Structure 1
């Protein structure tokens, strides 16, 4: 099923395309107990309002424009919302094992956003040159993976109804099993497999490429150059998590330590 041109406010609104959109919107409207449209091919105010509401509630657009374009975000979300449910779509352990690897996080410094990428690389180079061991465990977090982690946590705890989880274009998962207990169980299985201990954020600096998790260790006292090139002695404790002098050196590069999170450094200390 496809449309050949735009439908909605200011769209081409070809009769056949409008009818396709109206039928798809009715699938969503019916599943959420809302009044359905008359699929007559006339793109009137009711159809535009339904498009706008769908963009706001499902697509998550901050400024819904009431327009659906072929292949656009709204069209993708609308077709995903009306995709037939199969056991493979349902959230849970089986879905996690089959799909989670498609949304990997990165531990490569090259995945960080500029200028934090260059600042972190320079800091790490200085650490290694001084004889420190640096192990990077996480840099940029996959946005879809963050979405999956966030909503598996919230659905499992009953904080969000399964049917209210926002759709993500390109992500085929059905949180609503048709039974709340089963839906929460499926979400909890994913929480356990993701090894989530605290509610995952949707606005983490890791998602933006502005944070890095790394362990830094050394023996004895090493001489680490700050951004100006001045060598500064760094002794005990021999851990990047707790050594205040190393934190001060990192800050000269624009790599700031978050004290409450042992491996976490970022561009603003959060």
Structure 2
């Protein structure tokens, strides 16, 4: 009898299954931080509360956007921003334990759009500097505030002195207000307008 020849073909390698979830705006709901001063640390919490009280007593509108942020949220902020603004190579983004996000979509355009949607959902679209992977927010030593007022205001500094602010801008970028904040040991971000809402214990 003729030898029986196998007609079986070698098995094709099965695709590697991934438990990662594609990036997009929905990730902004994960690893939420806080916008309460109660989640700030030690004496910085009291300094911030005193500074905010002085501002509101003077008729300044203060809206707290963020206080404590977990490192996992900063990971999302950092890499989504860099994909959109720095053209970061998606394949070279390091993984982070506990953040099972897949940055690479079927096409580069889809990947960039998903990152841009996440940037918008994280409210960092106007940020002019890349978010740090570690910051004072992780330690409860930073706060992001939207600050505004009209006309002239008189604000009490940490020594009890009344300071008339009649200069512009009427925002957290006002130099007189920044000096008052420093008297409370609440320091404006050293990078100026690159991160308008950011204040911390050391300016970083």
State the structure with bigger RCO (CA 8 A, min sep 6), 1 or 2. Answer: 2
1:1-270 to 2 correspondence within 5 Å?
Answer: 84-86=17-19, 89-93=20-24, 96-97=25-26, 99-154=27-82, 157-159=87-89, 161=91, 165-169=94-98, 171-175=99-103, 182=106, 184-185=108-109, 187-193=111-117, 194-195=119-120, 197=125, 198-237=129-168, 239-258=170-189, 259-260=192-193, 261-270=195-204
2-structure distance, mates of 1:262, 1:254: 18
- TM-score for both structures, normalised by structure 1: 0.56
**Residues matched between the structures, number:** 177
- Give RMSD over aligned pairs: 2.8
Q: Which has the larger displacement, 182-191 or 237-246?
A: 182-191
Distance 1:219-1:92 versus aligned 2 partners, 3 A rule: closer
Deviation at 1:114, TM superposition (A): 2.3
Point out where structure 1 has 5 or more consecutive residues left out of the alignment. Answer: 1-82
2-structure distance, mates of 1:154, 1:217: 30
Structure 1 or 2: more helix by fraction: 1
Classify the secondary structure of the residue corresponding to 2:42.
coil
1-structure distance, mates of 2:108, 2:138: 26
- 1:164-194 deviations in whole A, cap 9, x for unaligned? 622313x3334466xxxx3755542332112
